Amino acid sequence: MTERPLMLASSSPYRRALLARLELPFQCASPDIDETPQPGENAEQLATRLAESKARALAAHYDNHWIIGSDQVACLPDGTLLNKPGSHQSAVEQLRQSSGQCVQFMTGLALLDTSTSSLQVHCETFSVNFRDLSEAEIEAYLRREEPYDCAGSFRMEGLGITLFKSMAGRDPNSLIGLPLIALIDMLRQWGRNPLLEPTAIQR
């Protein structure tokens, strides 16, 4: 498949930092989509639909690109979805719900070739076992990191790690918002290997 410029369909600084680790040239643009769950939609379906929707939202403006879309949804054992809290009180409630629970994080990933309409879609699952959290711990954590723009109300790359008892999954990058191992698999499937990239960003 013919190589195209890479476009990340996101305004997230976390996803930008993750993609930059591959040392490939890329641009970013923010997609404008409705992230409301559809009736009967589970966490995996929602994550993959939103990832694909983000990629497709930019397709008309970037007609000769490979567009990367990604979105994350957290899910409690009873199926309750945990999205970005947006406020302190919502984050408190999310961490109360997660305390002592195994929370599944579904990170949808889409890679769209806008010149051919070829599409790859994947959902990366990662499990987090939360400690039994006291009210004081929840308040102290949220006041220090204010992770109100993060699904599940924590930042794994920061103090969020103190909330966990254990984690399980193949790619912890997915917790931050972009499953790099799956993305590399997709790029390689289309003939692009970051390790052999002649135009890779030089350190």
Q: Which residues are catalytic?
A: 71
Question: 24-41: string of b/e by CB count within 10 Å (b at 16+)?
Answer: bebebbebebeeeeeeee
CA distances from 20 to 28, 43, 125, 145, 194 (A): 11, 27, 22, 23, 11
Do residues 106 and 123 lie in contact, with contact meaning Cβ atoms separated by under 8 Å? yes
Residue type, 84: K
Report residue 49 CA to chain centroid gap. 13
Tokens of 90: 């919502």
CA distances from 117 to 4, 28, 46, 55, 59 (A): 13, 20, 21, 11, 9
